[in-house]
Amino acid sequence: MKAQELLEKHPKVTKLIKAWWIERMKAALDTEDLPEDFKLEMKDLSVENSQISAVIDGNPHSLYEFFDKKGVHIRYDFTDDYHFHGCSINEDRTYYKFKSRKGAERDILDDAFPLLEKTL
């Protein structure tokens, strides 16, 4: 499923991810190294679906902390036997069907989103 479609299909999860992402960005601003006027300007941060889509496609692993905090635990694994990568959720069976780590990490989000959406 495309990232944008994943976000649109799971609006509750999308809303929580945006809030979590903004929290992380604001925490990064909590430093003395930045000018106060810049901090004030960044106070009203917002996140668009297109930005989260870029994260899903570009660095899917960065959302694993969010899912962990919500009780959806994603585990990555690699098998030396066939050089395939795989992921599982909450200790379910791992399917090793990807030649790249990023492919496995991205694919598991297609399962994590609806799983979390059902609990909200």
**In angstroms, rounded to a whole number, what is the distance separating the alpha carbons of residues 111 and 97?**
15
Residues 116/72, Cβ–Cβ less than 8 Å: yes
User: Does 11 score more than 90 pLDDT?
Assistant: yes
Greater model confidence, 107 or 34: 107
pLDDT classification of 81: cutoffs 50, 70, 90? low
76's tokens: 């990555």
Q: What pLDDT was estimated at residue 34?
A: 79
From CA 28, how far away is CA 38, in angstroms rounded?
13
Between CA 100 and CA 9 the distance in angstroms is 26
Per residue in 25-55, pLDDT tens? Answer: 888 877 778 788 877 777 777 889 999 999 9
Residue 94 has pLDDT above 70, yes or no: no
Residues 55, 62: Cα–Cα separation, whole Å: 7
Annotated domain spans of the chain: 3-119
pLDDT higher at 78 or 72: 72
DSSP letters along 87-99, please? Answer: EEETT-PPP--BS
Identity at 42, one-letter amino acid code: M
Q: State the pLDDT at residue 102.
A: 87
